[in-house]
Structure formats: C-alpha cells, structure tokens
C-alpha cells in the first residue's frame, strides 16, 4: 500500500514540475513572438534534446528569410528552475554554417557511435535543420 502511495506522489509531482517547465517555455516563446510580431520574414524554430540521466536542452532560434540567425535562446538543465539564456555567438551566422560547425564539433567529441553529442548541440542542430527545411519549402512554394 505504501508503495502505491509513493508512486502516486511521484506521478503527481512529475506532472506539476512538467507543467511549470512547459509554462516557462511558453512564456519565453511568447516573448520572442511578441518581439517580432508584425515584422515579415522572421521565423521561430525550436529543437530539444532529452537525456535520461543527464541534463537536456531546448533551443529556440529566430531566423530571417535569408537563413540568418537573428536571435538564439537556449535552456539547459534538469531543474524546472532553469531559464532561457541568449547565445550571442550564433547571432548573424547562417543556419547552414551553424549546422556545419556543430556537426564537426560532434564528430570530434564522440568517442563511440553509441555516445550522443552534447545536449545543447543536439537541440541547436534540430532547430537549425527545421529552419533550413521550413524556409526552403516556403521559398519553393512561393515561386
């Protein structure tokens, strides 16, 4: 009986913490959307990297129609108290060059095929790939 109560408490606690984290994500996303609302040809893309035991990451990129990164926000950690931080090092960089540099960095840092790259790199790569695919599809559809 005690085991069932403990399991229920853990499930409820997990739900509450997930709710807080999703609320923080939506709040930051709404800030970015509000900042670029009314401006044409700016797009928001996000990527995430989940880890079972290590800290995961979520990346948000604002990219313009020319595939240039206008803003890059990253959240890394295991706690619901972690917040998004701006990475200025990628500002003004082409999405393709970001992907290339992250891919090179990951292949150098991997020791075995089973090892995953750093969570930040994985989240940024996912967001950048989404940006390239989505914007290129829009450009093809318009022409």
- Strands, E, within 1-143: which ranges? 42-49, 56-64, 69-77, 85-86
pLDDT attached to residue 61: 93
Report residue 110 as tokens.
Answer: 């991997």
pLDDT tens for each residue of 94-140 = 998 888 888 877 776 555 454 566 888 889 999 999 888 888 877 67
Chain mean position to CA 54: 16
pLDDT attached to residue 111: 54
Q: Which domain holds residue 27?
A: 2-142
Q: What is the mean pLDDT of the chain?
A: 84
The domain tally of the chain equals 1
pLDDT tens for each residue of 48-66 = 888 777 778 899 999 998 8
Question: Domain of 34: which CATH number?
Answer: 3.90.1010.10
What is the pairing mode between strands 42-49 and 69-77?
unpaired
């Amino acid at each position: 009986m005690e085991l069932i109560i403990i399991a229920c408490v853990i499930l409820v606690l997990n739900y509450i913490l997930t709710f807080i984290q999703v609320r923080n994500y939506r709040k930051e996303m709404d800030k970015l959307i509000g900042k670029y609302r009314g401006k044409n040809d700016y797009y928001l893309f996000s990527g995430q990297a989940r880890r079972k035991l290590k800290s995961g990451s979520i990346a948000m990129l604002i990219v313009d129609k020319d595939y240039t990164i206008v803003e890059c926000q990253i959240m890394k950690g295991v706690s619901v108290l972690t917040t998004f931080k701006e990475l200025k090092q990628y500002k003004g960089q082409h999405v393709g060059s970001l992907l290339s540099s992250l891919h090179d960095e990951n292949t150098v840092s991997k020791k075995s095929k089973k090892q995953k790259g750093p969570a930040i790199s994985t989240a940024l790569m996912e967001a950048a790939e989404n940006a390239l695919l989505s914007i290129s599809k829009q450009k093809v559809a318009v022409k």
